[in-house]
Each structure stands twice: as C-alpha cells, then as structure tokens.
C-alpha cells in the first residue's frame, strides 16, 4: 500500500455511506481523507441547507466545484463527494485532469432512503421520498461513469466495503 499515490474519489447517492467508507479507507491505506461537504461547511461557516437557502442550488454547485479544485490541489488522497458533485461535467473534468481513481458506491434506493431519513444532517434535496427517488434514478446514469463500482450489499458494513476497495483497487 506504500505505493498508493493516486487520489481516490468516492461517489454515489446521498446516504450510501461515502463519508464512512472514506474514513475506513483512510485508516486502512494510511492516507488523508476529506469529505467535500464537510470542507464546504467548514470554509463557508454555514451548513449546506443555509448555503442553499441563501444562494440556491446553482451557487452551491459553483462552491462545490471551487472547493473540489482546492482539495484536488492539496495532499488529500481520499475524497468523498457530495451526492450531486459527480453529476457536473466540470467536476468530472477536474477529477479526470488530476488522474484520480473514481469509485461508485451503489446500493438500493431503500438503503439510501433509510439512511437519509435517520441522518442527523438535513438533506434539502431529499425532503420527501418521491423527490429523493427521482434524483436517485436520474443520477445512476452518471455514477456509472466511475472507474470502479462497488455494490453495498445487505450484511456488508462500511468497513467491509473499505477493505474490499483496498484489496481490489490498491493491492500490489
């Protein structure tokens, strides 16, 4: 694992477990990680719902692209994107230019919805199940553009998924 040099980008729908898998992968690979949404909240000093309320989705997406660029120019090696970040051509271009390894974490809508409902964080783009389902279906065609695809199955926890990624993607 000492030869791990490429940045790793985790994408997938909200509630799939990107942040948690990133934390475990960071520990396994002994590399620094960052959650893009957490970074935005820290720098902006506002929650994502507050940012959306003040400036709308377009403003938030511009901030997302700006801060993704900053993280990609840092020494951070594992990046968990927000659920919508991967859907922007500009963000995928930035990631491609930095020669990152991209990983789509997939699960069922019901798995994601359960996590959204019980999350301690407000999810302004998934206030109801119908809207969340529409976003889920819409984004699948873009998530599949990632280099790797890992399905989170019933009975697999986020640590198991991180171990599988480390073994299959970063094994010598």
| H helix runs in 45-157, sequence order | 48-72, 89-97, 109-117, 129-143
Tokens 């090696």 found at: 77
Q: What is the pLDDT of residue 71?
A: 97
Q: What is the pLDDT of residue 128?
A: 86
Q: What is the pLDDT of residue 76?
A: 95
Q: What is the pLDDT of residue 5?
A: 66
pTM, rounded to two decimals: 0.92
Smallest CA-to-CA distance from 142 within 79, 78, 77, 95 is with 95
CB 83 within 8 A of CB 12: yes
Tokens 């301690």 found at: 120
Which positions ≥6 away from 138 have C-beta within 8 Å? none
- Give the Cα separation of 54 and 101 in Å (integer): 34
Mean pLDDT for back-to-back runs of 10 residues, the chain (172 residues): 70 94 96 96 94 93 97 96 96 96 95 84 79 94 95 84 92 62
Q: Which two tokens stand for residue 58?
A: 């377009």
Q: What is the pLDDT of residue 2?
A: 36
Give Rg (Cα) of the chain. 15
CB 81 within 8 A of CB 36: yes
Q: What is the pLDDT of residue 102?
A: 97
Q: Which two tokens stand for residue 22?
A: 């990133």
Q: What is the pLDDT of residue 4?
A: 53
């Amino acid at each position: 694992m000492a030869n791990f040099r490429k940045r790793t980008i985790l994408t997938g729908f909200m509630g799939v477990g990107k942040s948690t898998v990133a934390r475990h992968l960071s520990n396994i690979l002994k590399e620094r990680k960052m959650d893009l949404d957490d970074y935005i909240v820290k720098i902006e000093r506002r929650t994502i719902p507050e940012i959306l309320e003040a400036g709308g989705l377009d403003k938030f997406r511009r901030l997302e692209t700006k801060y993704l660029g900053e993280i990609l120019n840092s020494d951070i090696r594992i990046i968990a994107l927000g659920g919508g970040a991967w859907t922007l051509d500009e963000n995928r271009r930035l990631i491609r230019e930095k020669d990152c390894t991209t990983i789509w974490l997939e699960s069922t809508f019901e798995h994601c919805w359960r996590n959204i409902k019980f999350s301690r964080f407000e999810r302004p783009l998934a206030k109801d199940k119908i809207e969340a389902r529409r976003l889920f279906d819409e984004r699948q065609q873009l998530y599949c553009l990632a280099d790797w695809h890992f399905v989170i199955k019933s009975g697999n926890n986020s640590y198991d998924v991180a171990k599988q990624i480390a073994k299959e993607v970063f094994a010598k």
